[in-house]
Amino acid sequence: MESILVLTHTDESGSALTKTSLEAVTAGRDLSAKLGTPLSVGMVGGNISAADAIASTKARILAVTGEAFTHPRYASDAAACEALCRTAKATLILVSAGSRFARVAAGVAHRLGGCVDTHITSINVDGAFTVSRWFYRQRIESTLTRASRPWFLLLDAGTHAAFAGEPASAQVEQIAVTLPALRTRITGLRSPAQDAQTIRPDARLLFVAGAGWTKKQPDGQTHTSEAGNLILDFLRATGASLGSSKSLVDQGGEGQTVLPFLTHMNQVGQTGSTPRHPKGLSTCCHGEEPHVVGWRFIGDRRAISLDPNCGWTRGKADVVYIADAFKVMQKINELLAHTQP
Ligand SMILES: Cc1cc2nc3c(=O)[nH]c(=O)nc-3n(C[C@H](O)[C@H](O)[C@H](O)COP(=O)(O)OP(=O)(O)OC[C@H]3O[C@@H](n4cnc5c(N)ncnc54)[C@H](O)[C@@H]3O)c2cc1C
């Protein structure tokens, strides 16, 4: 019989579980109900009280807590996860695939003689136990199963709703961990200012900038700094996440005028990212297939382009505005300025 362990961790405050952890808890609770097997949740982090948020799952809760485990570090996180797995003796281990656990999952699976699969988007219990993931930049969906156990499954963020049960005082089993010699010391935390960070996975809207923003406009001139201001004003007012076409981020390497706040990290598409947002607005982008394939998981797709024959109008967007994005975004920013508190 299968048994399930969900590996979770707290956020930087040490007192709450991360959103991706709560998503994995939902996946574990649903799977345990479908299989009729016991559920354990393992927690790594600063404060034991963070487990109160998942008390209503009625799962067995195991925790490795304390100052050494508040912040991510390979050696301490791997040791904590290994101890949780050895205590729970689970056959299926669901892992929240944020950067913290994505880094240690393969190492922990190796220590336990198990196997690991990443980018899991769904778990199916339909006769056989199978999981799904996408390959080749989300062009091919595959369903797979494995006989070897324990099987570690890293769940892609956004594929399950975050668990939101009524908080209660959780019964938690504290697991002792003998730490190996630690080479990495955490001396503090530095993060960019909120408006300097343009990639926001939790934003409701993805705003994509294309190469058109830096092209010559009807007056024969480029208007790159005006473009930059329009985009940044819009991001500040809406909290949208910023994506880019490849052509635009590539321009920096070609010595052309660029938008200084864009890097290849912003690139969406076949050789970029495949973000998940309820809505997307593309501007000054042609909507070519290698770009649009990165929009696979965007719910409502809209585009502003001057070209009535662009890829977006050929069935790739739900709504296309054939218009000058400079004028449209200026108007939108004016309207947003009036609606700000
Ligand atoms: C193997 C491979 C992998 C690739 N991977 C990716 C990838 O991951 N991501 C990606 O994005 N691309 C990728 N590409 C490149 C992709 O094919 C396109 O070349 C690229 O997406 C084009 O970017 P763009 O639409 O911003 O630029 P352009 O094709 O130059 O289009 C600019 C658009 O802006 C419009 N425009 C100009 N001014 C305005 C204005 N004032 N208002 C409104 N619209 C305006 C123009 O009408 C035009 O449609 C890949 C290509 C290959 C071969």
**pLDDT digits 0-9 by tens, 60-110:** 999 999 999 999 999 999 999 999 999 999 999 999 888 999 999 999 999
pLDDT at 341: 55
What sign for the dihedral angle of Cα 243, 245, 247, 250?
Answer: positive
Kindly state the tokens that stand for 53: 């948020």
Using most ligand atoms within 8 A of CB, pick from 206, 291, 304 the residue to mutate for ligand 1: 291
What pTM, to 2 d.p., does this model score?
0.76
Residues 6 or more apart in contact with residue 316 via CB below 8 angstroms: 287, 292, 295, 301, 303
Cα of 209 from ligand 1 centre, angstroms:
9
Distances (CA, A) of 56 to 6, 110, 211: 15, 32, 50
What sign for the dihedral angle of Cα 198, 200, 205, 211?
Answer: positive
Kindly state the tokens that stand for 229: 């201001």
256 pLDDT band, cuts 50/70/90, is: low
Helix (H, G, I), strand (E, B) or coil at 85: helix
Residue recorded with tokens 């290698």: 290
CA distance 329 to 117: 42
Helix (H, G, I), strand (E, B) or coil at 155: strand
pLDDT at 252: 73
Q: Any idea what the Cα angle at residue 223 is, between residues 217 and 229, rounded to 5°?
A: 130
Kindly state the tokens that stand for 12: 């930087």
**Do residues 27 and 160 make contact, with C-beta atoms less than 8 angstroms apart?**
yes
CA distance 227 to 214: 8
**Would you mind telling me the total number of residues written for the chain in this entry?**
341
Q: If you take atom 43 of ligand 1, which residue's CA is the nearest one?
A: 305
pLDDT > 90? residue 260: no
Cα of 287 from ligand 1 centre, angstroms:
6
**Do residues 183 and 149 make contact, with C-beta atoms less than 8 angstroms apart?**
no
Q: If you take atom 26 of ligand 1, which residue's CA is the nearest one?
A: 210
Q: What percent of the chain has pLDDT over 70?
A: 97
Pocket (CB within 6 angstroms of ligand 1): 210-212, 215, 217, 245-248, 267-272, 284-286, 288, 290-291, 294, 304-307, 310, 324-326
